[in-house]
Amino acid sequence: MSTLHTVNKSPFATQTLQSCLNHVKDGDTILMIEDGVYGGTVGTTIAVAVAAITGKVAIRVLEGDMAARGINADRLINGVTPVDYAGFVKLAAETDRTQAWL
Amino acid sequence: MSEVKKFLYVNRKAPYGTIYALEALEVVLIGAAFDQDVSLAFLDDGVFQLAKGQNTKGVGIKNFSPTFRALGDYEVTKLYVEKESLDERGLTLDDLLAVTYEDEDDDYEEKPSIRLVSRAEMADLMSTQDVILSF
Amino acid sequence: MAAYEVNGTTVEHDEEGYITNLSEWSKELAEIIAKAEEVDMNEEHWEVVNFLRDYYEEYQIAPAVRVLIKAVKKTMGPEKGSNKYMYELFPYGPAKQACKIAGLPKPTGCI
């Protein structure tokens, strides 16, 4: 049993990513989309918290939203990996439920 | 009869700054017709929706907080409120509306609908749902 | 926008006949809406209309039919708190007709 969490807000504008991190369970997946993709990059004020959870929770970032914002894969936190739209669909199909953090 | 599913409505927004809170409440009321196992979660700024003493006369928006007290009539009786979210906002249960329901299985005794849970319990609750609707 | 005429003043309503400004309701208006709905208001109709207005005052919603019937059953007893009784009074449905006559919006959760 696992949950796919989507986060679509910048962690610098809202507490959405922090709240998501506070409520995930081991084995869940967090997918960062839209402005949420900034949460997957290195050197930010939330990067330590994101890096700390990568052992327990898979963290994926939507490629199209990264590219649109000029974020290359080498800017992602270790253990955070890109995913394309097909991968997004696959994740949604493989998990038991999806929770959107708005 | 079709299988009953566990539905969780997650409320994370304050009541009047955006339309999310009112929309969530309307979806809950409409969805209540479908006889599912419904719970509501209030965390982050969502806890402000349940604050006592709301008066919207000065802002020209309908005060929908009294409607939470009608949820029992719609057989929606589980309102989970996260303690950490209250703490962060300087609130306690005493600052929230008294939302109750009449328990048909217990001689219609009036019982509180609001259940205070920890952040960990809230995470557990979310992880046991069939469907999560976020607002 | 279409309107009802009450004692020389107009009260606007939507395309389904629900008044748009709830504070413009009056007993005279209720009689006029009832006439348009072909409901001949008697004491029993008024009892339901007043019940709905009280419910709205307290909870800020017009209840769905099943909720109304359950609530009526609780306060007025099982004979009045039944589908049969409600539809005898309001043949096109207590939600559609009684709420409209009571000056409330269309019930939330009526689908």
pLDDT tens per residue across all 102 residues of chain A: 899 999 999 999 999 999 999 999 999 999 999 999 999 999 999 999 999 999 999 999 999 999 999 999 999 999 999 999 999 999 999 999 999 999
Residues 6+ apart with CB under 8 A from C5: C32
> Is C110 among the domain residues?
no
Q: Which residues of chain B have a CB within 8 Å of the CB of A24?
A: 123
State residue C108's pLDDT score: 72
Predicted local confidence at residue B76, as pLDDT: 97
**Cα–Cα distance, A36 to A10 (Å, whole number):** 5
Q: Is residue C50 part of a domain?
A: yes
Distance from CA of C4 to the nearest CA of B (A): 24
Q: The domain containing residue C21 runs over which residues?
A: 3-101
Which residue, C50, C66, C25, is CA-closest to B70? C66
pLDDT, tens digit, 9 for 90 and up, residues C27-77: 999 999 999 999 999 999 999 999 999 999 999 999 999 999 999 999 999
Mean pLDDT of C90-94: 93
Single-letter amino acid, residue B47: V
Q: Does residue C16 belong to any structural domain of this protein?
A: yes
Active site residue C110: yes
For residue A56, the enclosing domain spans 3-101
Please, which pLDDT band fits residue C3 given cuts at 50, 70 and 90?
very high
Encoded tokens for B3:
């299988």
Residue C13: count of CB within 10 angstroms of its CB:
21
CB of C61 less than 8 A from some CB of B: yes
Q: A99–B123: do the CB atoms touch at under 8 Å?
A: no
Question: Least CB-CB distance to A23: which of B20, B122, B129?
Answer: B122
User: What are A58-62's contacts with CB under 8 Å, separation 24+?
Assistant: A58/A28, A58/A29, A58/A30, A59/A29, A59/A30, A59/A32, A60/A29, A60/A30, A60/A31, A60/A32, A60/A87, A60/A91, A61/A31, A61/A32, A61/A37, A62/A31, A62/A32, A62/A33, A62/A34, A62/A37, A62/A88
Q: Domain tally for chain C?
A: 1
CB contact under 8 A, B127 and A100: no
Per the structure, the count of domains in chain A is 1
8 Å CB contact of C109 and B67: no
ipTM over 0.85: yes
Domains of chain B with CATH codes: 6-134 (3.40.1260.10)
Distance between A99 CA and the closest CA of chain B, angstroms: 6
Amino acid at A11: P
Select from C20, C56, C57, C61 the residue whose CB has the most chain B CBs within 10 Å, as the one to mutate to test that interface: C61
Token pair belonging to A31: 């997918």
For chain C, which chains pass the contact test of at least 3 CB pairs under 8 Å?
Answer: B
| CATH number of the domain to which C48 belongs | 1.10.10.370
CATH code (residue A81): 3.40.1260.10
C-A interface (Cβ pairs under 8 Å ≥ 3):
no
A23 touches chain B (CB under 8 A): yes
